[in-house]
A and B are shown apart, each in its own frame.
Chain A
Amino acid sequence: MTQVLMPALSPTMTEGKLARWLKKIGDDVHAGDVIAEIETDKATMEVEAVDEGKLSEILVGEGTDGVAVNTPIAVLSAEGEAPAATPAPALPKSRAGSEEAGGEDERQVADRAAAVRAPATVAATTPEKVWGATKPTTVREALRDAMAAEMRADADVFLMGEEVAQYQGAYKISQGLLEEFGPRRVVDTPITEHGFTGMAVGAAMAGLRPIVEFMTFNFAMQAIDQIINSAAKTLYMSGGQMGCPIVFRGPNGAASRVAAQHSQDYASWYAHCPGLKVVAPYSSADAKGLLRAAIRDPNPVVFLENEILYGQTFDCPTAEDFLLPIGRARIERPGQHVTIVAYSIMVGVALKAAETLAAQGVQAEVINLRTLRPLDIGTVVESVKRTSRLVTVEEGWPYAGIGSEIAMQVIEQAFDWLDAPPVRVAGLDVPLPYAANLEKLALPQPGWVVDAVRKIV
C-alpha cells in the first residue's frame, strides 16, 4: 500500500487546490499516469503517479482548497491487497520552518557561529625576502620573462589569445615566445573571447595551466560569464573536485585617448568575487614576481596590467627563482602623517604626490596593494594605526570601488585610530571621454592626491 502525497511543484509552493481527479477508485495506475490536476496561484499542474497499483482510496476530494504539501491525497494498493487504515506520514522537517516557529536549537546556534567565522586577515609579520642583484627592466620585459620562466619549468603551461604568437603580442608582451616554445604552446586564437575563454577554462579543469591574454580587459567582458560562473565558482560547486589553475591577464584601465569602451578599470568587478585571486602589479618586480606566482597558483587569477606601464623601466631582481607572494602589499615609501593606498598605475601617481607633500613637510606613507583579492588589509590597518589618516587612490569609478572597500575595512578595524574621515581619490563617475583635455580632467592626477591629503592633514 502506497500513499500519494500532495506534491510541491516549485521551491516556494506550500499549498494548492486539488482541482480534479483524473482517476477514480478501482482504476489501475501505472508510473507516469496523470492522476490529478492541482492548481497553485501560478499554474495548473498535473500530478503523475510514481508508483504502481490500484487506486483504493481518495483522501482529498475534488475542489478542495489549501491542501498543504505532503498531505496524503490518495492510497494505491498492490494487486490483491486490502485497503488499510492510513497512518499519518512523517513530514520532512524544514529547518526554515522550525526557525520561524521561534527559538534556535543548539546546532543552529553553533552553525550560525561557524557561518560568520570568515578567514582572518592579519598583517604579514615576516619581512619580504631580499632578492639581491637587480637590473633595469621594463614591465613589458618582466611579464614576458615571467611567462618564459614558467613555461620552461612546466610543460603544462601555455599561452593563448589574440595575436600572441605570430604577431608577437598586440602590445609585444609575448615577444619571442613563439620562437622558443612553438605554436603548440603559444596559441593564436581568433577574435572570439567568449569561446576561447571557455575553452581555456575547460583545459584548466582537465589539468593544464593556461595563460589567457586578453588584448585588453575591456574585451574580457565578452567572456566574463566563463571567468566568474565557470572558473571562479566551479571548485566550490563541485565540493572541491574541479580546480581551475588559470591566469587571465592583459591591460586594464585607461590607456591614452581610446575613449570609454577601451578605458575601464575592472578591479572592483573581479575583486568582488570569491573564488578568484586578483592581482594588479605596478613595477617590473611586481609584474615578474607576481605573474610567476599567478601561473603557479592552483586557482584562477585575474592579472590586471596597465598599458601605460608596459614601457616604464624599474629595477627588477635578476635571481632565477624570484617570486612574490600573492596577497602581500608593499610599503613603497614610509611616512608618518598619512597613509596613501593605491594599486597599479596609481601607485606612481601616489608617489609623485608624496614627493610634493614632502616638500610641504608632510610625510606620506604610500602602500602599493599589489593584490586586490585576497586583500592585505593588515598592512593597511597597521599603517593607519601609525599615521591616523587614510587616502585611497584608484583610476576606476568611485561607486562601490576598491577605495570604498578599503575605507570601510579600516573603519571596522581601526576606527579609534583615525583622526579624520578617510578620503577617496578616484576617476570621475563618467564614461572616459576622448578629448585630451576632458580625459585628463577625468583621471586622478598627483595634484588630486595632494589636495585630498591636505584636506585631512
Chain B
Amino acid sequence: MLRIRRFEEKAGQLYGMGLVGGFCHLYIGQEAVVVGVQLALAPGDQVITSYRDHGHMLATGMAPRGVMAELTGRAPGYSRGKGGSMHMFSREKNFFGGHGIVGAQVSIGTGLAFSNHYRGSANVAVAYMGEGASNQGQVFESFNLAALMKLPCVYVIENNRYGMGTSVERASASRNLSQNGAPWCIPGVQVDGMDVLAVHAAAQAAVAHCRDGNGPYLLEMKTYRYRGHSMSDPAKYRTREEVSEMREHHDPITAARAELLRLGVPEAELKSVEDEVKTLINDAADFAQTSPEPDAAELWTDILLENAHP
C-alpha cells in the first residue's frame, strides 16, 4: 500500500513538472482495495482494470521503474512508450490492462474468465471497475454472460463515490451496487474498501466461490480517492472537509500501520520499510526521467504480428 501511495505521489509530482503527459488518474486513498484482493489470488489468475491502473500494476508485481517510465513516455516503459498512464500490460504478471474506455475492461475480463472455463483451468479472473463504469450496458451484458456460462470472474466495483465529478447518488438509481448482479443471481457483498483486512477476507471468499465453479461474484468496495479524478480536476464537487475526514480518520495505510504496531511489529521495522519504499520510488523516478524516449522506428512496430504460419 505504501509503495502505491509513494508511487502515486511521485507520479503526481512528475506530472506537475510536465514530465508526464495526457491524463493521469491517481489511486491515492484506494490502495487497500488492490492489495487486499491481490493477496487472495493464486499464480495464473488474471487481473484487468480501467485507466486508474497504477495501483493494480504495482499490486500484481510489475516493476515501478517500468510503470514510471511508461508515464514519462520512455522506451523501457511497459508499453515501450506507446500506451501511457492508462494503457499498460504485463503478460508475465497476468495483468491485462490498463483500458481507457470506461466499461470495456469488464467484458474483456469476462473473456479472460471464459478462457479459464474453456481450458478447464482453476484460474480466476478479476475485473475491476469504478462505480461510474458500473452503469455501462456492457457491464450488465457481461454479468448475464458470466452467470449464464458460470464463468470464474470476480467483479470488483471500486466505489470511490465520484465518477469524475458526478456523485454515485446522481449517477446510479441503485443504492447498493453489490446487488447489481442480483437479477442474474450473482452473489455480492459490500466491503469497507479502506480496511485491507476486510478487503482481503471478502476477496478470499469471492475467489474461492469462483474457483469452485460456482460462477461469478461481485464485490463492492466502499473506498475514496483523495485526489481529483485526474490531475486537471479541481474537485469542486465535494467539500474539503469530506476529503479531510476520509484522510484523517479512514486512511488505509495509517490504519494498517497502527494495527502492525499493535501486533508488536517494532517501529524501527516499519521505518525501514518506509525507507525502502522511498528508495525504490526515487529510483523509479530517476529511471523514468533519464531513460531515452522511444526510437522513431517504434512508430511502425507492434501494429500487426507477423504470421507464424501463413
Residues of chain A at the chain B interface (Cβ within 8 Å): 5, 7-11, 13, 31-32, 34, 42-46, 48, 50, 69-70, 92, 94-95, 110-112, 114-115, 117-119, 158, 184, 189-190, 192, 194-208, 225-226, 229-230, 234-243, 274-275, 277, 293, 296-299, 323, 325
Q: How far is the CA of A421 from the CA of B231 in the complex (A)?
A: 53
Question: Contact between A240 and B144 (Cβ–Cβ < 8 Å)?
Answer: no
Q: Given B9, B22, B112, B141, which contacts A31 in the complex, CB threshold below 8 Å?
A: B9
Q: How far is the CA of A195 from the CA of B18 in the complex (A)?
A: 38
Query: Of B85-93, B207-215, B216-224, which stretch is located at the interface?
Result: B85-93
Question: Contact between B110 and A184 (Cβ–Cβ < 8 Å)?
Answer: no
Question: In the complex, what residue of chain B is closest to A114 when comparing beta carbons?
Answer: B296
Contacts known (A115-B296, A230-B101, A230-B104); A92 close to B17, Cβ less than 8 A: yes
Q: Count B-side interface residues using an 8 Å CB cutoff.
A: 81
Q: Given B21, B108, B110, B226, which contacts A11 in the complex, CB threshold below 8 Å?
A: B21
Question: Contact between B112 and A203 (Cβ–Cβ < 8 Å)?
Answer: yes
Query: For residue B232, which residues in chain A have a CB less than 8 angstroms away from its CB?
Result: 9-11, 13, 42-43, 45
Question: Contact between B296 and A110 (Cβ–Cβ < 8 Å)?
Answer: yes
Question: Contact between B145 and A205 (Cβ–Cβ < 8 Å)?
Answer: no
Tell me how far the C-beta of A206 lies from the nearest C-beta in chain B, rounded to whole angstroms. 4
Q: Is B172 an interface residue (CB 8 A)?
A: no
Query: Of B34-42, B75-83, B196-204, B259-267, which stretch is located at the interface?
Result: B75-83
Q: How far is the CA of A9 from the CA of B18 in the complex (A)?
A: 9
Q: How far is the CA of A114 from the CA of B114 in the complex (A)?
A: 41
- Interchain Cβ contacts under 8 Å between A and B, 25 examples: A7-B16, A8-B17, A32-B247, A43-B232, A50-B13, A70-B18, A92-B18, A118-B300, A194-B137, A199-B145, A201-B107, A201-B111, A202-B114, A203-B114, A205-B112, A206-B46, A208-B115, A235-B303, A236-B303, A238-B87, A238-B98, A239-B78, A239-B89, A240-B305, A299-B305
Best-buried of A11, A114, A208, A325 by chain B (most CB within 10 Å) = A11
Number of A-B contacts (CB under 8 A): 218
Tell me how far the C-beta of A94 lies from the nearest C-beta in chain B, rounded to whole angstroms. 7
Question: Contact between A297 and B18 (Cβ–Cβ < 8 Å)?
Answer: no
Tell me how far the C-beta of A294 lies from the nearest C-beta in chain B, rounded to whole angstroms. 11
Tell me how far the C-beta of A291 lies from the nearest C-beta in chain B, rounded to whole angstroms. 14
* A-B complex: 7 closest residue pairs judged by Cβ atoms: A202-B111, A198-B107, A195-B141, A7-B16, A239-B80, A206-B115, A10-B232
Contacts known (A203-B115, A239-B79); A198 close to B299, Cβ less than 8 A: no
Q: Given A5, A42, A200, which contacts B16 in the complex, CB threshold below 8 Å?
A: A5
Q: How far is the CA of A160 from the CA of B240 in the complex (A)?
A: 51
Q: Given A112, A196, A225, which contacts B101 in the complex, CB threshold below 8 Å?
A: A225
Tell me how far the C-beta of A297 lies from the nearest C-beta in chain B, rounded to whole angstroms. 6
Q: Given B99, B115, B301, which contacts A207 in the complex, CB threshold below 8 Å?
A: B115
Question: In the complex, what residue of chain A is closest to B234 when comparing beta carbons?
Answer: A43
Question: Contact between A235 and B304 (Cβ–Cβ < 8 Å)?
Answer: yes
Q: How far is the CA of A450 from the CA of B99 in the complex (A)?
A: 50
Tell me how far the C-beta of A183 lies from the nearest C-beta in chain B, rounded to whole angstroms. 10
Question: Contact between A196 and B145 (Cβ–Cβ < 8 Å)?
Answer: yes
Question: Contact between B141 and A192 (Cβ–Cβ < 8 Å)?
Answer: yes
Q: Given A32, A112, A205, A234, which contacts B111 in the complex, CB threshold below 8 Å?
A: A205
Question: Contact between B308 and A199 (Cβ–Cβ < 8 Å)?
Answer: no
Question: In the complex, what residue of chain B is closest to A239 when comparing beta carbons?
Answer: B80
Question: Contact between A204 and B16 (Cβ–Cβ < 8 Å)?
Answer: no
Q: Given B9, B141, B234, B300, which contacts A117 in the complex, CB threshold below 8 Å?
A: B300
Give me 7 other A-B pairs in contact (C-beta within 8 A), A189-B145, A206-B115 excluded: A111-B296, A199-B114, A199-B142, A202-B114, A208-B118, A237-B82, A241-B90
Query: For residue A243, which residues in chain B have a CB less than 8 angstroms away from its CB?
Result: 305
Q: How far is the CA of A412 from the CA of B182 in the complex (A)?
A: 59
Tell me how far the C-beta of A75 lies from the nearest C-beta in chain B, rounded to whole angstroms. 16
The B1-27 residues at the A interface (CB cut-off 8 A) are: 9-10, 12-13, 15-19, 21-23
Contact with A along B48-89 (1 / 0, CB 8 A): 100000000000000000000000000001111111000111
Query: For residue A274, which residues in chain B have a CB less than 8 angstroms away from its CB?
Result: 303
Question: Contact between B297 and A199 (Cβ–Cβ < 8 Å)?
Answer: no
Best-buried of B9, B78, B115, B140 by chain A (most CB within 10 Å) = B115
Contacts known (A117-B300, A275-B303, A323-B310); A199 close to B104, Cβ less than 8 A: no
Q: How far is the CA of A207 from the CA of B115 in the complex (A)?
A: 8
Residues of chain B at the chain A interface (Cβ within 8 Å): 9-10, 12-13, 15-19, 21-23, 28, 46, 48, 77-83, 87-91, 96-101, 104, 106-116, 118-119, 125, 137-138, 140-142, 144-145, 148, 226-227, 231-232, 234, 236, 240, 247, 289, 293, 295-297, 299-310
Q: Given B81, B299, B306, which contacts A114 in the complex, CB threshold below 8 Å?
A: B299
Question: Contact between A236 and B300 (Cβ–Cβ < 8 Å)?
Answer: no
Q: How far is the CA of A42 from the CA of B144 in the complex (A)?
A: 42
Best-buried of A7, A204, A323 by chain B (most CB within 10 Å) = A7
Question: Contact between A239 and B302 (Cβ–Cβ < 8 Å)?
Answer: yes
Contacts known (A92-B19, A293-B310); A114 close to B112, Cβ less than 8 A: no
Contacts known (A202-B108, A208-B118); A237 close to B96, Cβ less than 8 A: no
Query: For residue A230, which residues in chain B have a CB less than 8 angstroms away from its CB?
Result: 99, 101, 104, 108
Query: For residue A242, which residues in chain B have a CB less than 8 angstroms away from its CB?
Result: 89, 91, 96-97
Tell me how far the C-beta of A440 lies from the nearest C-beta in chain B, rounded to whole angstroms. 37
Query: For residue B142, which residues in chain A have a CB less than 8 angstroms away from its CB?
Result: 195, 198-199
Q: How far is the CA of A158 from the CA of B114 in the complex (A)?
A: 12
Question: Contact between B111 and A204 (Cβ–Cβ < 8 Å)?
Answer: yes
Question: In the complex, what residue of chain B is closest to A244 when comparing beta carbons?
Answer: B305
Query: For residue B16, which residues in chain A have a CB less than 8 angstroms away from its CB?
Result: 5, 7-9, 69
Q: Given B101, B118, B144, B305, which contacts A184 in the complex, CB threshold below 8 Å?
A: B118
Question: Contact between B17 and A202 (Cβ–Cβ < 8 Å)?
Answer: no
Tell me how far the C-beta of A43 lies from the nearest C-beta in chain B, rounded to whole angstroms. 4
Question: Contact between B110 and A32 (Cβ–Cβ < 8 Å)?
Answer: no
Contacts known (A114-B296, A207-B115); A195 close to B301, Cβ less than 8 A: no
Q: How far is the CA of A198 from the CA of B293 in the complex (A)?
A: 33
Question: Contact between A296 and B107 (Cβ–Cβ < 8 Å)?
Answer: no
Q: Given A50, A95, A229, A275, which contacts B12 in the complex, CB threshold below 8 Å?
A: A50
Q: Given B19, B81, B138, B310, which contacts A195 in the complex, CB threshold below 8 Å?
A: B138
Query: For residue B307, which residues in chain A have a CB less than 8 angstroms away from its CB?
Result: 296-298
Tell me how far the C-beta of A234 lies from the nearest C-beta in chain B, rounded to whole angstroms. 7
Tell me how far the C-beta of B265 lies from the nearest C-beta in chain A, rounded to whole angstroms. 22
Contacts known (A195-B145, A225-B104); A277 close to B301, Cβ less than 8 A: no
Query: For residue B9, which residues in chain A have a CB less than 8 angstroms away from its CB?
Result: 31-32, 50
Q: How far is the CA of A235 from the CA of B296 in the complex (A)?
A: 18
Best-buried of A32, A95, A325 by chain B (most CB within 10 Å) = A32
